[in-house]
Structure 1
Amino acid sequence: MAKTHYTRHDYRIESLKYILSGLENSINQLNKVSKKYPIYRETFYVEEVEPIYGMAFIALQNYINSSIFDLYESLNKKMKFIVRIKKYPHLKGLG
């Protein structure tokens, strides 16, 4: 199995940035509404923000899994990679 070289171009990061930027804009809009109508924050804000954060987590999970797949051409070693990150915290900044 040929591994991907560490200097390869990360072609997924731009899409991830666009997705997260759009979700951030959605939350900013809800913040504006909640400042204009204080009752909104008390009643609806959390219910409307929660799925936006959920979509962000899904996008990040997909990015991480796809990056691991690119590196190992399989997700079989996913847990091995995650354990390595926990064991060696200095690897968290890679990527």
Structure 2
Amino acid sequence: MIRALNRFGMIFASATTVALLALGVAWSAATPADKPIAAVVTQAERMFPDAPDGVDPVVTGPVSAAFKQRQADVGCDKAAWPNVPAACFEH
């Protein structure tokens, strides 16, 4: 009788373990790991699609005084990629 109870306990424990593992696998397969995030593409990213890490918002080199003033007016020196105004770049 004791041997039969011991065998029943082992079968019950094994069946419970298998059932819990199956539930865990089913749960992880049904739940997406990451929800897809809609990518918002800024104007600067559209202007420079080949620069995924960004570009310098302050253009250096020979530019007109009007362009330098326009850069100062829109705050190009404080802009951070990808939120860089299009006015920061020579058109």
TM-score, with structure 2 as normaliser: 0.31
Structure with max Cα Rg:
2
Higher helix share: 1
Higher relative contact order (CA 8 A, sep 6+): 1
